A and B are shown apart, each in its own frame.
Chain A
């Protein structure tokens, strides 16, 4: 017997996930593009690695901040997609897959915290 689908319709679900991913990509591309433009305009083209934690310390020059924030938002977009799907499946009461989404998020949080040490 086919179970009636609860929560959002499938097309709404897909539209929300698609919108989140496109939004994250566009925002990060804008920030990276602006950061690159500022770097090239100021002629400050020194190569160095930047840790993602430096975004929160407030000591980065604007051009570096924009570039790093763009990359950080890009990296967070798939993580937000996992959270969004977890909520959408929760609205369908699909607890098995909500559990799977939580497990993926825990693993990602583990990678962030392990990377810091």
Chain B
């Protein structure tokens, strides 16, 4: 099978759109890339998942390098939870290799509907800080040996916020499940990790989002290596999509500061449901076709 230069450009444009939406809406590009490659370009879902994982690594590396520089990502917490996500990623990668493409498409569609609901219900929570977090100077040394607590500068409140992290076993469990979904479906899993860290572990939302992004690259490669070793990575598909995602994310990061994503989120959630239903119908047709 051959593709033309217009197809390569269309793949890059799809990646750019996914990167742009990802940066503006705070979601991973995988949820857009996989259905685009399956429904629009007609690729097998396992090839789409492998290519999506390459893009997820690219966008996570690009975004988290910024978050690390700003001191938003809690690197020790991220590394601790990576133990669980990498194990989940390997399990998900192998599970995907043995499941039928139709079943995978069906699971993807159902997970997409879940993400759409979370996106639709999400409120403007940029200032969401757990009650236990305190403003002002930290009482314990942040980012110090053995500590999981941290401090960051909150531009919205114009002050330093100090927080402590608790409920690590729960965070590990959620991270493992997010890792399985990442390996199975080629998504980042941030939609699970961010609320879990924020609500159950006492991590402020901005730090939770930055730490989740920091972790996603390692989570994705744990399953990407499985796909890559088995020959499911099509470089001529993965490379233009990944380059597009990085370009789109760069534009999106600057645009995101200037626009309110509230209406965009609602529209995007509805679009996600429509695409999810198409994925489920495709899976249904495959089972009964």
Q: By DSSP majority rule, is chain A's interface helix, strand, loop, or mixed?
A: helix
Question: Which of chain A's residues 76-117 have a Cβ closer than 8 Å to chain B?
Answer: 76-79, 81-82, 85, 89, 92-94, 96-97, 100-101, 103-104, 107-108, 110-112, 114-116
B231: chain A residues within 8 A (beta carbon): 49-51
A112 near B229 with CB under 8 A, answer yes
Residue B263 at the chain A interface, CB threshold 8 Å = no
Would you give the 0/1 interface string for B1-12, flagging 1 where the beta carbon is closer than 8 Å to chain A? 111110010000
A100 near B242 with CB under 8 A, answer no
Question: A53, A67, A81, A110: which contacts B239 (Cβ < 8 A)?
Answer: A67
Residue B112 at the chain A interface, CB threshold 8 Å = no
Of the candidates B4, B64, B65, B222, the one having the most CB atoms from chain A within 10 angstroms of its own CB is: B65
B3: chain A residues within 8 A (beta carbon): 45, 47
A18: chain B residues within 8 A (beta carbon): 65-66, 68-69
A15 near B224 with CB under 8 A, answer no
B89: chain A residues within 8 A (beta carbon): 111
A45 near B8 with CB under 8 A, answer yes
Look across to chain A and name the residue whose beta carbon is closest to the beta carbon of B82: A104
A47: chain B residues within 8 A (beta carbon): 1-3, 234, 236-237
B65 near A22 with CB under 8 A, answer yes
B144 near A33 with CB under 8 A, answer no
CB-CB under 8 A for A3 and B144, given A45-B2, A85-B75 = yes
CA distance A114 to B92 in the complex (A): 13
B62 near A74 with CB under 8 A, answer no
A36 near B8 with CB under 8 A, answer yes
CB-CB under 8 A for A115 and B218, given A21-B64, A74-B54 = no
Of the candidates B141, B144, B235, the one having the most CB atoms from chain A within 10 angstroms of its own CB is: B235
CA distance A108 to B223 in the complex (A): 9
A111 near B8 with CB under 8 A, answer no
Look across to chain B and name the residue whose beta carbon is closest to the beta carbon of A69: B235
Question: B4, B57, B237: which contacts A78 (Cβ < 8 A)?
Answer: B57
A92: chain B residues within 8 A (beta carbon): 145
A2 near B54 with CB under 8 A, answer no
Shortest CB-to-CB span from A72 to chain B, Å, is 8
B178: chain A residues within 8 A (beta carbon): none
Residue B47 at the chain A interface, CB threshold 8 Å = yes
B94 near A39 with CB under 8 A, answer no
- Given contacts A5-B144, A17-B75, list 15 more A-B pairs with CB under 8 A: A2-B140, A21-B64, A21-B65, A50-B233, A52-B225, A53-B229, A74-B54, A78-B57, A101-B79, A107-B87, A110-B90, A111-B86, A115-B225, A115-B227, A116-B229
What are 23 inter-chain pairs, A to B, with CB distance below 8 A?
Answer: A2-B144, A3-B141, A25-B58, A29-B246, A33-B243, A36-B239, A39-B236, A45-B5, A46-B1, A46-B2, A49-B47, A70-B239, A71-B233, A71-B239, A77-B57, A82-B79, A96-B145, A100-B80, A104-B218, A111-B86, A111-B222, A115-B229, A115-B230
Binding site for A on B (CB under 8 A): 1-5, 8, 47, 54, 57-58, 60-62, 64-66, 68-69, 71, 75-76, 79-80, 82-83, 86-87, 89-90, 93-94, 140-141, 143-146, 217-218, 220-240, 242-243, 246
